[in-house]
Amino acid sequence: MAKDYKILSCLICDFAQKGQGNKDMLIGIYADVILISELPARMPLAVWVQLKPINLKKASINLEILSPQDKSIITMSGELILTEDNIIGLPFQIPLMSFPEEGVYKIKFGLNSSQEIIKKFSVIKNESSEISTFNI
């Protein structure tokens, strides 16, 4: 069975929200690695999913984050109503995300269907307080 959407992008960041004019506001975007000074850790986290609906007017949304041991840490769901097949961004804000351990975490997503893994990211304990900078 063909999916009724196509994932274009998935980002993890500190904050994501829909703004005026249907703009998406993303703050503190991570490059697939989150450095944490102490574990276990709790911190705000957001997942932003960009997708292209295909002949879809209404959908059940499901997002789940799995630990490195494939245990569900958080599950979010809701309803989506669309008026046209434009590319859309979906922000999922998690006020306090728990990271129990280092390792590779997985994000699963689905619309009206079974979930699929759409992103993996690493959580690494970083003892150093130094910040890397790059000059361009």
Q: What are phi and psi of 23, to 5 degrees?
A: -85, 150
**Distances from the Cα of 9 to the Cα of 12, 64, 71, angstroms:** 10, 16, 24
132 in any annotated domain: no
Lowest model confidence (mean pLDDT) among 13-22, 59-68, 107-116, 124-133: 124-133
Q: HEC string of 71-87?
A: CEEEEEEEEEECCCCCC
Instruction: Tell me whether residue 123 is exposed, middle or buried, using C-beta atoms within 10 angstroms of its C-beta: 0 to 12, 13 to 18, 19 or more.
Output: buried
CATH number of the domain to which 84 belongs = 2.60.40.2550
48 in any annotated domain: yes
The average pLDDT across 38-49 equals 94
What predicted TM-score, i.e. pTM, was given to this entire model? 0.87
Closest CA to 5 of 45, 62, 74: 62
Q: What is the pLDDT of residues 81-130, one digit of tens each?
A: 887 768 889 999 999 999 999 999 999 999 887 789 999 999 999 876 55
Select the more confidently predicted residue: 5 or 119. 119
20 in any annotated domain: yes
Indicate the number of domains in the chain: 1
Residue type, 73: I
The confidence score (pLDDT) of residue 128 equals: 65
Full domain range(s) for residue 22: 5-125
Q: What is the pLDDT of residues 121-134, one digit of tens each?
A: 999 998 765 555 55
Select the more confidently predicted residue: 83 or 2. 83
CA–CA–CA angle 34, 37, 41 (5° rounding): 75
The confidence score (pLDDT) of residue 86 equals: 83
Looking at the predicted structure, is the pLDDT value of residue 28 above 70?
yes
64 in any annotated domain: yes
